Amino acid sequence: MVQITILISAALAYFFAVFVKNKRLGYTVMSVFIALFLISIGLLVGNEYGHLGMEKVTTNKTIAIQTVKKGSNLLLYKQLGTNSKEKVYVYRTPDTAKAKKPDNTKADINVTNKVKQGNFDSSHIKQETTRWEYKNGFYSFLFNLSNNDHEFVKQTNTFEIGSDWMVLSTSQASKLDKMLKDKDVQAKMKSEGADYVKSIVAQEMKANPSMSETQRAEVVKQAQAEYQASAVKKLVGNMK
């Protein structure tokens, strides 16, 4: 609205100054519209540079996340800038599990990313976002053409992931993929994995001789997952 007022007041000030024959009346009315023009300009500048009529509003939400690479609990990040201090984290959510491209955090100087590992019930992001919003409908109507409602201010993403997850750069993940495709590595993991599963099953059978086939299958599945996670971590350790 204020932008329209600026245009109308400027046009009317010109009209009354030039086309009204009664110059006293014309200049008097012109002065009113010039004052309105200047006030509107002041309001617009105040809104543009001082967020006049606006306030900071912070929202919080928790987003469940999934690993980008199936079979391994990985949280990936891309390093940005020459000093590699800024990172963009790459992940998936249940909604984007099958999407062509994964999700990622915003590449912005006002975005802070943190990673916490521990015994969390689920892996997720706690996202705190601050934006400029209009205080009420009056200010929203006044500056409705400025297109700055919900303007981004800052965001903090706190990743809370299980202790069995690994945090790798995209370049490290690429190296890991190549290592896992190596035939010698695959043969070694297959042999070591079989021995590990066999020893775990033997321990569990000794502790519970009456174990059912279903229970045994569950032990095998868990042992395989444990070995896979341990083997991948070992490979990553050798990479660094």
Task: For residue range 199-225, list pLDDT tens digits in order.
Answer: 988 888 888 888 888 888 888 888 888
pLDDT of residue 151: 92
Question: Mean of the per-residue pLDDT values for the chain?
Answer: 87
Sign (positive/negative) of CA torsion 177, 182, 183, 187? negative
Mention every residue, 6+ apart, whose C-beta is less than 8 A from residue 5.
36, 40
The answer to whether residue 72 scores a pLDDT higher than 80 is no
Q: What is the pLDDT of residues 130-148, one digit of tens each?
A: 999 999 988 888 888 888 8
The answer to whether residue 84 scores a pLDDT higher than 70 is no
Q: pLDDT over 70 for what percent of the chain? A: 97
pTM (2 d.p.): 0.75
pLDDT of residue 189: 86
22-26, 84-88, 173-177: least confidently modelled range: 84-88
Q: What is the pLDDT of residues 165-209, one digit of tens each?
A: 888 888 888 888 888 888 888 888 888 888 888 898 888 888 888
